[in-house]
Amino acid sequence: MQPQRDVPEAETKRPCIADLRTPGIRVAPSLLSADFSKLEREVAAVEAAGAEILHLDVMDGHFVPNISFGVPVIKSLRRQSKLFFDAHLMIEEPLRYAQAFVEAGSDLLTFHVEVTEEPAKVCEHIRQLGAAVGVSINPTTPATAIQEILAEVDLVLVMSVWPGFGGQAFIPDVLGKVRELRKLLAPHQRLEIDGGIDPATISDAVKAGADTLVAGSAVFGQRCPDAALRELTRLATEAAEVQG
């Protein structure tokens, strides 16, 4: 039996992984680019604009050369938001910290395959905690690095920049890997891309097969994040219709 945790009132109607297993195009605003002096307001704006997912970039200063935020911020936001919390753990020890992030309110934990020699063990641990499972690969990590665990995950995240810093330029070479993975994933599994997603790159990412698109500065770095999110969603949806 999976461990149970108290569910704050704000969580009662938020999306669950069963909802996200339904194919569709989703833009996931990245909290890393938000104004931390008014987080609640920023998150509420994108939620009102139709976002389903909030992408949470957690950095430990070891796996990546930067430190972002952690459990306290996620726990505080969980009480204020019904969004699906997609926690991207850019950390060296996902096994050690997974429980804390789930208890804080994360719905999905994505770990990097580069940090472990036993990715199946990490998947199993996260699943036992009651969260959905994602695995991420860096720009030069081949798709074959995660082939043995593809059936065990709910989401695959392809990095289209090097993890650790926001605002980097999109690396188009990763699109070949996105196409390769799209052919290997089942319809209920999401294919996410993170890094340099903006109005100029989002269509190419969708046409390659990505259906979940993380956007940081292209949303929260804009004067009107809600309008920016709607425009990105429009561009992505149009690209999917052309592709489809």
Residues making up the chain, counted from first to last:
244
**Among 86, 194, 211, 226, the one annotated catalytic:** 194
Between helices 94-104 and 119-128, what is the axis angle to 10°?
20
Instruction: Confirm if 81 and 10 have CB atoms less than 8 A apart.
Output: yes
Catalytic annotation present for 194: yes
Distance separating alpha carbons of residues 175 and 169, to the nearest angstrom: 14
SS in 3 state form for the chain?
CCCCCCCCHHHCCCCCHHHHCCCCCEEEEEHHHCCHHHHHHHHHHHHHCCCCEEEEEEEECCCCCCECCCHHHHHHHHCCCCCEEEEEEECCCHHHHHHHHHHHCCCEEEEEHHHCCCHHHHHHHHHHCCCEEEEEECCCCCHHHHHHHHHHCCEEEEECCCCCCCCCCCCHHHHHHHHHHHHHCCCCCEEEEECCCCCCCHHHHHHHCCCEEEECCCCCCCCCHHHHHHHHHHHHHHHHHHHC
Catalytic annotation present for 173: no
**Among 57, 86, 107, 198, the one annotated catalytic:** 57
The residues carrying an active-site annotation are: 57, 194
